[in-house]
Amino acid sequence: MNSYNEVRQALDPVVGVPFKELAPALGMTLPADPTRRKAVGGHLVESLLSIAKNSLRHADLDYLGTEVKTIPLNTRSSPRQWTKVTAFRIDETSQQPDFRHTPLFGKLRSILFVPIMKADNDIPDFWYLRPPFLWLPTEEQLEQMETDYLGIHQACLTKDWTRLTGRAGTYLTLKTSDSTTKGKTDAEKRRAWWLTADLTKTICEQNLWPKGALSSEIAETSN
């Protein structure tokens, strides 16, 4: 993809199409396993935009310098879960004290969010894509993510696993990403960088159809 217009041309025709119709058209099947179900939206979007499934160090749309992330929504247009950014590597983070020169920052400075409406979180047949939107973080948001990153960076230097587990930051945090972590030491568990729902909820409120506009329309209609 060499332009955002090409991205829209690839996604716009399938906005609102139920996954039970979209998946077969792309040669995909909807997994029955609930543990694999969460990833199906991301796989569909990767197929539509010809994005490699491997976790690349550079942005998904490299020419545009833009990462692509799906964001599952409930019926109130609020995120159902945190948003995974990329794999966490403790040795790499230990050596990179400057957040704004890290590969992680390269993925966060411009993100194309593709909302997935999940009225019923357990039935992917009727999930569908909503129109995508481009998010460029504000300086305030970047500063908070930088603060979060620096705290994690300091924990990396001492390999303080208690600070590298669970919610380590306000907007930017770590989570273990193994399908099973039972029996593994903290050092053995794989981790990934995630955006918390606190941030993505704000992003959705700023970029999806404003709730205030909906409330105003309802009030005008009732008068």
Tell whether 163 is covered by a domain.
Answer: yes
pLDDT in tens, 48-91: 998 876 556 678 898 899 999 999 998 888 898 889 999 999 99
pLDDT in tens, 193-212: 999 988 999 999 989 865 54
Tell whether 222 is covered by a domain.
Answer: no
Number of domains in the chain: 1
Tell whether 218 is covered by a domain.
Answer: no
Tell whether 215 is covered by a domain.
Answer: no
Q: State the residue range of the domain holding 135.
A: 4-210
Tell whether 31 is covered by a domain.
Answer: yes
Tell whether 130 is covered by a domain.
Answer: yes
Q: What is the pTM of this model?
A: 0.86
CATH number, domain of 73, equals: 3.40.600.10
Instruction: Provide DSSP, the chain.
Output: --SHHHHHHHHGGGTT--HHHHHHHTT----S-HHHHTTHHHHHHHHHHT--SS--SS-SBGGGTBEEEEEEE-TTS-BSS-EEEEE--HHHHHT---GGGSHHHHHHSSEEEEEEE-SSTT-GGG-EE---EEE---HHHHHHHHHHHHHHHHHHHHT-GGGGSS---SSEEEEE--S--TT--TTTS-EEEEE-HHHHHHHHHHHSSPHHHHHHHHHHHH-
Tell whether 223 is covered by a domain.
Answer: no
